[in-house]
Structures are given as C-alpha cells and as structure tokens.
Structure 1
Amino acid sequence: MTVEEMVQKVLEENFSMDVEKIPECETKTPDYYARHGEEQYLIEVKEKQSNPEVVAGRENALSNGNIFQIAESIQPKSVLENIIRSGKRQISSFAGDDECFRVVWVHCSGLSYEAVREQVVAGLYGSETVVDWGKEDGFAGTCYYFNESQFFKYRSEIDAVIISCRNSEVQCCLNNHSPRYPRLKESSLAKTFEDGLVDPVESEKLGKAFVVDGAVDRKNPDEVLSFLQTKYEIDRLMVMPMEHFEAHTSVPDKPM
C-alpha cells in the first residue's frame, strides 16, 4: 500500500470522509478532494523518508556488531520546510475559493521519525521550549511563534498540517492564523482528534503553552524573551534547546 493509499483509507475509515483522487495534469494539483457533510477539503500528501546515507551508516554499524546512534536537534530543517512549501503550492494552484479547507499531510516513514515529526512542528509554529527558572513551579513547555513560522507565512494558504508516523501516531496541527481557523477548529476533522490536536490558542488558555502574538523581531531572541516576560509577568525566562537521541543495535537470533 502506498502512502497516498494509506491516507485515503484513513480518511475514509477513521474520518468518515468521501474521498476523490484528483487526476494528475500538466499543472500542479493536490492529491485528494474530500467531503464530510458540507465540509470540503483539499489534501496534498507528502512523505519524508530517511537520508540514504543515514540508512547505509546504520546498516554498516549493525552488520559489524556496533551500536548506531542518532542525535537530532529539534529545529526546523530546510528539507522539511521545502516539503511544506511544495504541498502549499500544489493546493494553491488548484483551490478556487475559500470554502475548502487546505491540508498538507506529511508521513514520516524513515529513521528517527519522531524527531522528524517534532522538527516539522517546530517549523510550522516557530516553536521553542522555554523555562521559567526563577520559580520552582514555574512554566516549562512550548512557546509558539517564538521564531519565524511557516503557518504565519502561509496563513492564507495552509489551514492545517497532519503528521503521521511509522508507529501509527497521527497529529493534526491547526493554523490559528488562517482565516478559516474558526471553522476548522469546529470541523469534524478537528473533533476527531483528541490528544493529537495541536491548537496554540487553546493550549495557551489552558496554561499549557506560551504564545508570542505581538509585533516583535523574531530574529532577536532577547527581544522575544523580553516580550514574553512582560506578557506573562515572569522575571527570568530562558530557551532550552531540545535534542532527540536514539540508539539502534542488533540482537542475534538464538536457537530455541
């Protein structure tokens, strides 16, 4: 089953959507047009596979009885930003009005897929992990729009990005800067997700996240931190860079 076929199956069976494959033509088009009642969706499917050099390095290490380690910083990467940009272009070239929700679906199928998922989210929201180190029970968690973000940049063109992984986890990231955000957050798509729905507005209301929503230079971290300290009345706030680590090893088969 291809990734596109998997996505169609999930949309039909888990989201109860009527899904039509959009025929390919000379101009760029999204993969699917889907409906759920009065709701309409244009969906472009992308896949992020492993770097072949990383796969070869893993196989070489394991074949020699060594442990293969992966360390990834949770920061946006140009290759992932290009995937989102490409999906945006294919949807925008086909969308004729503002009625359809515009969704890019990214499937992470390679090694360290969890790191890739987190890197995609970081690029969409320009997010960082921030810590109030002035209090023992101070805030420690995600700050959305700390950096420049693809969701703000493409606010008229992408309403949501769905990220799926090899382990069957699926996450839906809502673009709260989209003009269709109020409708999308009440849609059947959003309501089908529970813990897998990412909505900065609701997370901030629940005290689970910070949001940079003012006119601030996001290329200047000190200015952003100053804005947050004023907004949330915090004296000491710092960015904590996050890393993803994993190790692979082979276990020889033993005769029973």
Structure 2
Amino acid sequence: MQPFSYAKALLQHWGITVEDIPTSDAQQKQESDFLASFGDARVLIEEKTKEDDPIYLAKRAEELERGEIHAATLPISRNETLSGLVRDASRQLRSSSDKPHDFRLMWFTATGVHAEGKYEQFIATLYGRTNILEMNTAHYRRCYYFRNADFFRRADVMDGAIVAHTDGQSISAKLCLNSLSPRYEALRRSAVVQPFGTAVEDPSALEADGTAFILDCTLDRKNEVPLLTYLQEKYGTAPLMKFDLGYTHASILLPKNEP
C-alpha cells in the first residue's frame, strides 16, 4: 500500500496536474515521485515525510499516563538526519533528470507532535540558517548560509524545496527558493511561486529588504569569529553575535469527562 502523499493532495487541491513517475526496475533507478505542471512550468518533485519516532512516542505516553508533564525542546539549527533526507532526495531528482522538466524541488512534510519544530529545523538545514544580533540594537536578522547548507551542497540539482507541516487536519506549506541554484531567477519569476502567495522564503529578497544577511564567502563554517567579522564588514554594522532559537512543546494528559 502506497503511503499517503501530502504533496499530491495539496497540489491537486490547487488544480495542479500531477503525473506519477514509475520506478524503473530494469535499470535499478530510484526515480523522483512525480512531475507537476504549474502552468507551462514542469517540476520534478521528490517527496519525503518525517514522522515521530515510535520509541519516543511510547516514552512520552508513559510519562503522560503517570500524570507527568512531558516537555521537549528541538534546537532550530542544522540537523544531520534531515540533511540525509535532502541527500537522498537529490539523488532521486538527479536520477529523473532525463524527464523533460524546468525545475527540481524536494517536498518535505513534518507530522506528529513536533511537526512545527521539525519544519523549522528542516528550513534551517537547507539554508544553514541562524540568527544574528547587532550590538546596541533591539532586533535580530536571520543569516543564510552561515552554517554548512544543503542548498549549497545540492545547488546544481535542487532549485528549492516545499516545506510543510501538519496541524491536526490542516497543513501549511512554504516554498523555499535556493538562491544558489543556476535556475533561481527563472524559478522566482515562474508560475510555481503563485499558489504559495506570501509563503515564499527568498534570501535575496530578504537581504534587499534589509531584514536578512547572506554569508557569501568561502570561509570555513566551523570557525564563527571570521564569519561574523566578514558580515560586519560586508554590511557595515556594529559587532555581531550569533544565536539560535529553539522550539519547545509541552503536553499533559487531562482526565476524560465522566458521564
């Protein structure tokens, strides 16, 4: 039985034509999942879903049954497990690149208890994203490509990603553009962006608005001091400091109402 496709359900709801790509057993090729037609733009899409770990859910259930409050925090930063999903998706997108298409996207859906946290983690993994605070100011800006970023590693294959998370019976989705892709300009002007409205993450547009930094240098991402110095000189700022946010979720089991 085929797993449920959040991507196909939402795209078809928008009236977008979706064509399955059959697996080529003879050639032992792992193909992408389908081709979607956004007007005249044909898009290869590989879909991945991240569900809750059954072991974690069992432990959580035990704590709740004991009347305890269960709390968990996810760091909103690069995650190597999620990076592995991007690696696998890029291989499948490359394998299907012989199909006529204009763009290649990965679709990632986070489900379960920490769906929103995993959604934010995945975006941070794609962009190597963090937050930068300028001294003597009361606000911070996001910085793209501050860490090792999967969009950088897969720029020749992956033009962007549709990142979604479920919330009960609803789903929210955002189109994340890979500003390092050679097809970036074509994608941002294409019909692909239209169904997403304002739910589009575009580092170059955010930088132009003055609300984000882009770290566009070849410095080693493991040594933060030169990276912050580069940003300070590039944007003419006061000293900068990096920090990451986290996603915290707490649960308690309430007694059922007695008749």
In 1, distance between residues paired with 2:125 and 2:257? 44
| Structure 2, unpaired ranges of 5+ | none
Q: Which amino acid aligns with 2:199?
A: G
SS in 1 for 2:228: helix
Q: How many residues align structurally?
A: 253
In 2, distance between residues paired with 1:163 and 1:96? 25
Aligned to 1:116: 118
In 2, distance between residues paired with 1:118 and 1:2? 27
Larger deviation, residues 38-47 vs 211-220 = 211-220
Aligned to 1:91: 93
Deviation at residue 133 of structure 1 after TM alignment: 2.1
Are the aligned partners of 1:134 and 1:237 in contact in 2 as well (CA < 8 Å)? no
Distance 1:12 1:78, change over 3 A: same
SS in 2 for 1:178: coil
Deviation at residue 11 of structure 1 after TM alignment: 1.1
In 1, distance between residues paired with 2:90 and 2:19? 19
Aligned to 1:203: 206
| Structure 1, unpaired ranges of 5+ | none
Q: How does 1:141-220 map onto structure 2 within 5 Å?
A: 141-167=141-167, 168-220=171-223
Q: Which amino acid aligns with 1:150?
A: D
Distance 1:202 1:2, change over 3 A: farther
Are the aligned partners of 1:229 and 1:235 in contact in 2 as well (CA < 8 Å)? yes
In 2, distance between residues paired with 1:241 and 1:19? 38
Are the aligned partners of 2:42 and 2:102 in contact in 1 as well (CA < 8 Å)? yes
Deviation at residue 198 of structure 1 after TM alignment: 0.5
In 1, distance between residues paired with 2:147 and 2:77? 10
In 2, distance between residues paired with 1:142 and 1:121? 12
TM-score by length of 1: 0.93
Aligned to 2:241: 238
Q: How does 1:51-90 map onto structure 2 within 5 Å?
A: 51-90=53-92
TM-score by length of 2: 0.92
Deviation at residue 219 of structure 1 after TM alignment: 2.0
In angstroms, what is the RMSD of aligned CA positions?
1.8
